[in-house]
């Protein structure tokens, strides 16, 4: 690892990544710090894949800071909140926390349990495999052992930080949905940590967590792309892509796929720095400044090989980003806070009608959010007049008068039953 960083210094006097000069960790003996910066740059500048809530991120960071004080780590990991996907630790002392994971939890202690599990992976340096690949001897059984060890270590980290160790079991019960080959069976994991954390008290922090997730988006965040009537709207960019009656439309997550006659159109939002790098990779490009923003058209070129150490690292990370394949005709519409990439395939030259999204379209695509209400009396939630039709908790939960209750801000079906 050290020789890798020495080569980074030698390969370029002022290397850059996604349009920004790399920081000191990339030019000194701190490979993990360099990798972490690169990955964070990807999330924040390239994909528009982060959940943009500075106060929530600061709160989660404080929880990690508290846990890290009892760990063997020399530096506290940096927290990033992803808009969707999984919660995981990365090489580079970063912990990526999924917003949808936070949504499922009921207390600060449960949040601390999930974070402590990832801290344990960082302590044991399990996460180096995320970039450099898994050794041949790293079997599925070994990976399951690593997960079990991280669970057990998390219980100890919770107790050291003053949290209730029993929260680890309830946290796993909330976030684990099914078994998979890389983890021990769900029931086995929950039973093991429940036994380890039994009969020992500590801070729960239910009110603290709920206060910090009030108004947080719940479910899919439609601001990166959602269909509204006869248009595909990207509220994050205030853009609308008009659809026709004969279009065959598929919208998967935040990507629009339109089949129009014999042509295929793909559209997806990315961060402006990544869009600019894609634009420099277009052959025979034409640039036009329009009322919608800077529009660059061209054909995606074959990636140029950069076999320097920094180039290899950058390529490994950038391959995870959304991008057209070589030979694809591309149009990139760059806005103030991001860009829309449009890929054209098949035969023919379809007419593309882009425009500014209307106020009504922006309102229609506003995502659902959490709303914290308070129990009017003591009892089971199922028997109380609170969050009617909008409850986001187990209906069998017992609360005291005035206790915070997690609801949806807009009317929607209860997402957690008894």
Within this chain, do residues 343 and 374 fall inside the same structural domain, yes or no? no
Instruction: For residue range 115-169, list pLDDT tens digits in order.
Output: 999 999 888 877 654 444 444 445 666 777 888 899 999 999 999 999 999 999 9
pLDDT at 179: 82
Spatial distance between the Cα atoms of 115 and 9, rounded to a whole number of angstroms: 34
Within this chain, do residues 293 and 337 fall inside the same structural domain, yes or no? yes
* Residue 375 counted as domain residue: yes
Least confident range of 80-84, 100-104, 332-336? 80-84
Contact 79, 95 (CB under 8 A): yes
Within this chain, do residues 187 and 239 fall inside the same structural domain, yes or no? no
Last residue of a domain, one of 159, 184, 213: 213
* Residue 4 counted as domain residue: no
Quickly list DSSP for 145-200.
Answer: HHHHHHHHHHHHHHHHTTB-TTHHHHHHHHH--S--TTS--HHHHHHHHHHHTTT-
**Percent of the chain beyond pLDDT 70?**
85
Within this chain, do residues 270 and 306 fall inside the same structural domain, yes or no? yes
Within this chain, do residues 344 and 243 fall inside the same structural domain, yes or no? yes
Q: How confident is the model at residue 8 (pLDDT cuts 50, 70, 90)?
A: very low
What is the span of the domain harbouring residue 400? 370-408
- Residue 339 belongs to a domain with what CATH number? 3.40.1000
Within this chain, do residues 203 and 160 fall inside the same structural domain, yes or no? yes
Could you give the 3-state DSSP secondary structure of residue 240? strand
pLDDT at 15: 67
* Residue 324 counted as domain residue: yes
**Percent of the chain beyond pLDDT 90?**
50
pLDDT for 10 beyond 50: no
Within this chain, do residues 71 and 153 fall inside the same structural domain, yes or no? yes
pLDDT at 48: 63
* Residue 377 counted as domain residue: yes
Least confident range of 18-27, 108-117, 244-253, 334-343? 18-27
* Residue 154 counted as domain residue: yes
pLDDT at 41: 73
Spatial distance between the Cα atoms of 282 and 330, rounded to a whole number of angstroms: 8
Quick count: other Cβ atoms within 10 Å of Cβ 375?
A: 20
Last residue of a domain, one of 188, 213, 238: 213
Give helix 186-196 / helix 167-175 axis angle, nearest 10°. 160
Q: How confident is the model at residue 336 (pLDDT cuts 50, 70, 90)?
A: confident
pLDDT for 340 beyond 70: yes
* Residue 78 counted as domain residue: yes
Instruction: For residue range 23-70, list pLDDT tens digits in order.
Output: 777 766 676 677 777 777 776 666 667 888 999 999 999 999 999 999
Quick count: other Cβ atoms within 10 Å of Cβ 238?
A: 17
pTM above 0.85, yes or no: no
Within this chain, do residues 72 and 189 fall inside the same structural domain, yes or no? yes
Quickly list DSSP for 344-406.
Answer: EEESS-----EEEPPHHHHHHTPPPBEEEEE-SSSEEGGGSSSSTTTB-S-TT-EE-TT-EEE
Spatial distance between the Cα atoms of 58 and 272, rounded to a whole number of angstroms: 24
Last residue of a domain, one of 148, 179, 213: 213
Instruction: For residue range 287-322, list pLDDT tens digits in order.
Output: 999 999 999 999 999 877 677 766 676 676 677 778
Q: How confident is the model at residue 416 (pLDDT cuts 50, 70, 90)?
A: very low
Within this chain, do residues 63 and 202 fall inside the same structural domain, yes or no? yes
* Residue 320 counted as domain residue: yes
* Residue 258 counted as domain residue: yes
Q: Count the domains in the chain.
A: 3
Bigger pLDDT: 13 vs 158: 158
Within this chain, do residues 97 and 150 fall inside the same structural domain, yes or no? yes
Within this chain, do residues 246 and 299 fall inside the same structural domain, yes or no? yes
Tokens read off for 393: 């908790």
What's the burial of 11, exposed, middle or buried (CB within 10 Å: 0-12/13-18/19+)? middle
Dihedral pair phi/psi, residue 376, rounded to 5°: -75, -20
Within this chain, do residues 64 and 115 fall inside the same structural domain, yes or no? yes
Could you give the 3-state DSSP secondary structure of residue 119? helix
Q: How confident is the model at residue 12 (pLDDT cuts 50, 70, 90)?
A: very low
Spatial distance between the Cα atoms of 403 and 414, rounded to a whole number of angstroms: 19
């Amino acid at each position: 690892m050290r020789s890798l960083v020495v080569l980074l210094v030698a390969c370029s006097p002022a290397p850059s990544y996604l349009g920004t000069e790399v920081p000191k960790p990339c030019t000194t003996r701190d490979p993990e710090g360099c990798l972490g910066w690169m990955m964070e740059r990807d999330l924040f500048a390239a994909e528009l894949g982060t959940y943009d809530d500075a106060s929530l991120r600061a709160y989660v960071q404080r929880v990690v800071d508290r846990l890290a004080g009892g760990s063997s780590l020399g530096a506290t990991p940096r927290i990033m909140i992803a808009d969707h996907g999984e919660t995981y630790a990365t090489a580079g002392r970063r912990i990526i926390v999924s917003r949808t994971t936070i949504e499922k939890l009921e207390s600060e202690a449960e949040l601390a349990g999930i974070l402590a599990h990832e801290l344990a992976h960082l302590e044991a340096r399990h996460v180096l495999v995320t970039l450099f690949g898994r050794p041949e001897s790293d079997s599925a059984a070994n990976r399951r052992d690593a997960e079990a060890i991280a669970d057990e270590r998390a219980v100890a980290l919770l107790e050291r930080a003053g949290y209730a160790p029993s929260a680890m079991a309830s946290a796993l019960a909330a976030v684990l949905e099914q078994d998979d080959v890389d983890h021990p069976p769900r029931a086995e994991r929950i039973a093991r940590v429940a036994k380890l954390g039994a009969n020992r008290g500590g801070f729960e922090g239910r009110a603290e967590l709920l206060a910090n997730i009030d108004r947080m988006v719940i479910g899919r965040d439609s601001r990166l792309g959602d269909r509204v009537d006869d248009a595909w709207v990207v509220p994050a960019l205030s853009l609308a892509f008009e659809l026709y009656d004969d279009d065959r439309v598929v919208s998967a997550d935040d990507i629009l796929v339109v089949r129009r006659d014999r042509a295929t159109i793909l559209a997806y939002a990315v961060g402006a720095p990544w869009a600019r790098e894609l634009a420099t990779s277009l052959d025979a490009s034409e640039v036009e400044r329009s009322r919608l923003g800077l529009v660059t058209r061209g054909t995606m070129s074959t990636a140029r090989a950069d076999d320097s150490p920094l180039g290899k690292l950058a390529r490994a990370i950038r391959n995870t980003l959304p991008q057209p394949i070589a030979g694809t005709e591309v149009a990139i519409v760059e806005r103030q806070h991001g860009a829309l990439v449009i890929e054209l395939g098949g035969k023919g030259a379809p007419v593309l009608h882009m425009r500014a999204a209307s106020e009504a379209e922006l309102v229609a695509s506003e995502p659902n959010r959490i709303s914290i209400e308070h129990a009017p009396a003591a009892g089971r939630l199922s028997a109380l007049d609170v969050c009617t039709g909008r409850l986001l908790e187990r209906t069998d939960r017992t609360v005291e008068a005035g206790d915070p209750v997690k609801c949806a801000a807009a009317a929607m079906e209860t997402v957690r039953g008894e």
